[in-house]
Chain A
Amino acid sequence: MSEMSDKQKLQKLEKEFEEFLYIISHDFAAPLRHINGFVSIIQQDKQDQLDAQTTSYLDNILKSSEHLNAMLQGLLKLSRINTRPGERTTTTLSGIIEAAWHHDLRHFIPEDAQLNVAEMPAYFCDESQLQQTFGALLLNCIEYRNPTDDLKINVTHNLDDDMHVICIEDNGIGIHPKMTERVLKPFARAVSAADFPGLGMGLAFAKKVIEHHNGTIEINVSENASTCVIIRLPKVSDDEKLVSTALST
């Protein structure tokens, strides 16, 4: 039997890592659910026997375990990007972005928000994953908005050699240039959790999905402090489509 190539070794390691992520996120959830369950039972059944301090301790246990549960669900979602990809279809990139905004984020859109999306070509991709990705990136624009200005989001598209270049620019609170790489990692936050509650999974999820499509993602901070998330996706040839379709059937 021939030895594994470096690429095969890497693929094996990636698969093992994803299985590990899945085990952590799935199997750790059960004892966590039990902690939640027992704390809730104490809160419901022993309410009249609890003093204010004990009530506060129990609230904190519940908050922490709910936060950990949300983190585990985030890891589970991340692990499923490669292990459970959807079917790839051809659909317009701008249509995916509009769907993420008008459908997925419909309950979060502030009244003063203005979203401009440039016309974009059709693209062969995992539509569901990309819609969730653009949803996560646009949600960041909403959550990290500047409270004193109307929210403006501009999504542009250019062709650069063999790449689609999509830029999501907003007039939000911005991000420190030193943090632009770090925030692409899971659970990394550029702001304090007290000021801006959140998990820090949106950009990590986006990075993994874009890389799953053989693309790249980076964050640019301009001189006027506006943030631009730049996504580069390779143009997919008809040959690749055929191979991909054959593999998925």
Chain B
Amino acid sequence: MTLLTVMVVDDSEADHFICNHTLKKHNSDINIIAAYDGQEALDILAAADAHPQVIFLDINMPRMNGHEFLEKYSEIYGEEKCSVVVMLTSSDQENDKEQSMAYKAVVDYFTKPLSVKAIDTLCDQNKHIYN
């Protein structure tokens, strides 16, 4: 499976650039929506007609961090068939991992940088990611 539309939530412009570069290696026509904190991501999702297939989510961000985003996102979209979330963070702390993976929407936890191999594995292991 190939990813067609994704959202990247990260406060670092450099991380966006590097992540986008990798995503385009996976699919050169991929549509990437950028958000720079959790609140901006929620605002974009609320206004969007269709949600991205995958949300790549950082943890340490200003205004609304990744954990806070997950809490709100689950409240709003908990039972809906919506995007899956993949954590993409520099944190290798067990408590960050446990806290994130406890949410139903979160299917994987990657430490930066994102690799093409990780995206391919993600697609192979999550056939239910809707198109």
Indicate whether A37 sits within 8 Å of B113 (C-beta atoms), given known contacts A26-B90, A29-B90.
Answer: yes
A102: chain B residues at CB < 8 Å are none
Taken residue by residue from 21 to 56, chain A's Cβ proximity to chain B (1 for < 8 Å, 0 otherwise) reads as 000001001110110111001000000000000000
In whole angstroms, how far apart are the Cα atoms of A26 and B96 in the complex? Answer: 14
Residue-wise interface mask of B (8-32) relative to A, using a CB-CB cutoff of 8 A (1 in contact, 0 not)? 0000101101100100000000000
CB–CB B90/A34 < 8 A: no
User: Are the CB atoms of A34 and B21 closer together than 8 Å?
Assistant: no
Query: Would you call B18 and A37 a contact (CB within 8 A)?
Result: yes
Is the CB–CB distance between A41 and B21 below 8 Å?
A: yes
**What count of chain B residues pass the 8 Å CB interface test?**
9
B21, A36: Cβ atoms closer than 8 Å: no
CA distance A72 to B12 in the complex (A): 20
Q: Which of A26, A33, A38 contacts B112 (CB 8 A)?
A: A33
Task: Summarize A's interface: helix, strand, loop or mixed.
Answer: helix
Contacting residues of chain B (84-124) with chain A, CB-CB under 8 angstroms: 90, 112-113
Q: Are A41 and B18 in contact (CB under 8 A)?
A: yes
Q: Is the interface of B mostly helix, strand, loop or mixed?
A: helix
Residues from chain A with a CB closer than 8 A to the CB of B14 are 31, 34, 37-38
Partner of B12, one of A26, A30, A36, A41: A30
The A-contacting residues of B in range 21-47, CB under 8 angstroms, are: 21
CB–CB A36/B90 < 8 A: no
Contacts of A33 in B (CB 8 A): 15, 18, 90, 112-113
Q: How far is the CB of B28 from chain A (nearest CB, A)?
A: 12
Residue in A37, A38, A41 with the greatest tally of chain B CB atoms within 10 Å: A37
In whole angstroms, what is the CA distance A26 to B18 when docked? 19
In the docked arrangement, what's the CA distance between A36 and B115, Å?
Answer: 13
**Bound complex: CA of A34 vs CA of B12, how far in Å?**
10
Q: How far is the CA of A30 from the CA of B17 in the complex (A)?
A: 13
Distance A4 CA – B124 CA, assembled complex (angstroms)? 58
CA gap between A31 and B13 in the complex, in Å? 11
- Supposing A37-B18, A41-B18 touch, asked if A30 and B90 sit within 8 A by C-beta, the answer is yes
Name B residues whose Cβ lies closer than 8 Å to a Cβ of A: 12, 14-15, 17-18, 21, 90, 112-113
18 pairs, CB–CB < 8 Å, chain A vs chain B: A29-B90, A30-B12, A30-B15, A30-B90, A33-B15, A33-B18, A33-B112, A33-B113, A34-B12, A34-B14, A34-B18, A36-B113, A37-B17, A37-B18, A37-B113, A38-B14, A38-B18, A41-B18
Closest 6 CB pairs of A and B: A37-B18, A34-B14, A41-B21, A37-B113, A33-B112, A30-B90
